[in-house]
Homo-oligomer: A and B are copies of this chain.
Amino acid sequence: MDGMVLGPTRYGKAEVRVVRVAKNGDEHSIRDLNVSIALSGDQEATHLSGDNAKVLTTDAQKNAVYSLAAEHGISSPESFALLLARHFLTTCPYISHARVAVEEYAWARIPGAASRHSFLRLGQETRTALVHADADGTESVISGLRDLVVLNSTGSEFHGFYKDPLTTLPETSDRVLATAVDARWLHEGPTEEWDESYGRARSALLTAFADTYSFSLQQTLYAMGEHLLRSDPHVAEVRLALPNRHHFAVDLTPFGQKNDNEVFYAADRPYGLIEGTVRRSGTASASGSAYDRAWD
């Protein structure tokens, strides 16, 4: 149409659920993923005229998830996302960029079971991996997790804040601090040990949350990012989003009782939301459009 143009596009199959069983005799192990693919390239014709000659169907993308899982197994979310991204760049000449986002759900063996093929879903955080890959070989890998819910029942203060005319919050020297960690970290390059790297990152986040005496959730956020960077020299940058899951000490004075920070109301909404980035200083990669795209 006159005066209108097509801007950036991408398309793909989202939320392909794949469970891959690996068998070593009677000893089974499983990986349980949710895979979302977004491809881009020379796709103008289908948008402007419905000519699909350059469209790799989202159904074929789904098939690729299962076919590659069968052929190669799934050794980690990151490596499987890389495998898929490279596949799309080679299987269709009209695709110049592939984005593959993976969620992984953790399972453990059922404790006390005799069988070696019985599993219990852990239900804690969701592990994530995000891969971008270009036809020219450029690749980026971001690992992450979300919904890792943690709580400190003391060791947190909040006071000395700016007071505008609408500030009514009392200052406190002892509060509950709770959050559902959403963290993502960019690797400077691929590794062969994605699971080990993930384990170290997760531990760093947890212990930094637990052992930082906190004067603000902002301070805790920075400490978590810093610990994660220290846990792995190949991580360039960490981005964190921490909802402040407010736990309000209940006022029991109307009932003639006192509340020595023992009884809390866990509120749903609204909640504070603290977002921040911690990165190595002087990393050349810390700006530019390829860098920005890695996180998108």
Contact = CB atoms under 8 A, between A and B. Distances in A.
A218 B47 contact: yes
Given A209-B118, A226-B4, A263 B59 contact: no
Interface string A219-237: 1011001100110000001
Interface in A1-53: 1, 3-23, 28, 30, 32, 36, 38, 43, 46-53
A211 B113 contact: yes
Contacts of A62: 270
Interface stretch (A75-83, A129-137, A156-164, A190-198): A156-164
B30 A60 contact: no
Contacts of A46: 215-216, 218-219
B50 A265 contact: no
Contacts of A91: 164-166
B21 A278 contact: no
- The binding surface of chain A is classed by DSSP as mixed
A265 B66 contact: yes
Given A5-B278, A7-B279, A17-B270, A43 B218 contact: yes
A231 to B, nearest CB: 12
Interface residues of A, number: 143
Given A110-B209, A152-B117, A161-B57, A277 B8 contact: yes
B278 A119 contact: no
Nearest to A239: B7
Interface in A229-283: 229-230, 237, 239, 243-244, 247, 250, 252, 254-255, 257, 259, 261-282
A120 interface: yes
Contacts of A161: 52-53, 55-57
24 contacts: A1-B226, A4-B279, A11-B274, A13-B273, A16-B270, A22-B262, A38-B275, A43-B218, A49-B219, A52-B159, A53-B161, A55-B218, A57-B162, A58-B244, A60-B163, A64-B166, A70-B250, A91-B166, A113-B207, A114-B211, A117-B155, A120-B206, A121-B151, A123-B125
Sorted nearest first, the 10 A-B pairs with minimum C-beta distance are A50-B215, A7-B277, A113-B210, A118-B210, A123-B123, A121-B149, A9-B276, A59-B169, A58-B272, A50-B219
